Chains A and B, each alone.
Chain A
Amino acid sequence: MEKKKKPEDYLRVEIPTDLPYRWSTGPYVGKFFAELRDNGKIYSSKCPSCGFLFTPPRVVCPRCHIRLPMWPDWQESGPKGTILTFSVVKAPFHDTVTGRLRKVPYTAAGIKLHNGGVLEHFLDEKDETKIKVGMRVEAVLKPREQRRGNMEDILFFRISPE
């Protein structure tokens, strides 16, 4: 009987799909990034009904389904906060900015900002034995002239010395 062929025995097709895209943040997140870029401030919005805090601010509270206030009725939060959750990533994963795989290891974390909500960002510490939930952290921003009004304006969160 003829030996069963493997998929690799057949012709190979390579399709290197590169999809650059551009999207508008809308007024709420746009203002959040503009404030981050121009004044280095992180703003949160608070639901007048349930009191939940959103960082970045959102238009509608997903729990109460009511419209949330626009700037200037936002509150300044951070740059200090505490680690709510974290994950040291060791399997390469896509970077939505470059489209390529992010260099590993890196630490993704949910930061409960002082006077604000939970912001998803990175920690500069990549050793999981040195990170604990509840640790105090602080945002490290790019210098003013390098900020472009996006999430990369915050470089990472640094663990504050106790």
Chain B
Amino acid sequence: MSEELIFLNGRTWIPTVYYVGEFRTKFFEEIRDNKRILGVRCPECKCVYVPPRATCPRCFNKLSEWVPVGNQGTVLTYTTVYYDTRVQAIQPKKPPFTYGIIKLDGADTGLIHFIDQYHASDLKVGMRVEAVFKEQCTGSILDIECFKPV
């Protein structure tokens, strides 16, 4: 008996809204207004967190010392995405594109962002990259367009 395959369409719509809190607000506003990336330093272990956070996860200290970090940094790791989910909230860019973890100069942690390359020959762990800021900034992580090889 030949069987017909029946497919059904479904849809999930999740209109998420949230407020980023004190630390991310200052972080995003500094990017938006001054094109400058900030981190916070732990008074005990001296670790500089980018993006900034309220508590040091190692020492459990409350953090308050804001330090500017460089707009340039080093690529710790990266991955190139080819699969298109066609869901803008998950993929703000159209594949292929590259995500990387970038350790900015003066920071001790990595920031996840886009790297403006997707050819394997142009990508290398340890390569130097620089933040490219958008013209029209709105106060979000996407105010940094991407990181471009220096």
Q: Is A22 an interface residue (CB 8 A)?
A: yes
State A99–B25 Cα separation when bound (angstroms).
31
Q: Is A39 an interface residue (CB 8 A)?
A: no
Q: Which residue of A lies closest to B16 (CB)?
A: A15
Q: Is A51 an interface residue (CB 8 A)?
A: no
Q: Which residue of B lies closest to A21 (CB)?
A: B10
**Smallest Cβ distance from A95 to chain B, in angstroms?**
8
By a CB distance below 8 angstroms, the chain B residues around A15 are 14-17, 89
By a CB distance below 8 angstroms, the chain B residues around A5 are 22
Whether B12 lies near A14 (C-beta < 8 A) is: no
State A100–B6 Cα separation when bound (angstroms).
23
Chain A contact residue count (CB 8 A cutoff) = 34
Identify which of residues 1-34 in chain B touch chain A, using a CB-to-CB cut-off of 8 Å.
3-22, 24-25, 28-29
Contact of A23 among B10, B14, B24, B140 (CB under 8 A): B10
State A99–B86 Cα separation when bound (angstroms).
16
By a CB distance below 8 angstroms, the chain A residues around B29 are 11
Q: Is A161 an interface residue (CB 8 A)?
A: no
Whether A22 lies near B8 (C-beta < 8 A) is: yes
Whether B6 lies near A25 (C-beta < 8 A) is: yes
**Smallest Cβ distance from B31 to chain A, in angstroms?**
11
Q: Which residue of A lies closest to B12 (CB)?
A: A19
Known contacts A24-B7, A25-B8, A31-B3; A10/B13 CB under 8 A: no
State A13–B24 Cα separation when bound (angstroms).
11
**Chain B residues within 8 Å of A, Cβ to Cβ:** 3-22, 24-25, 28-29, 86-90, 139-140
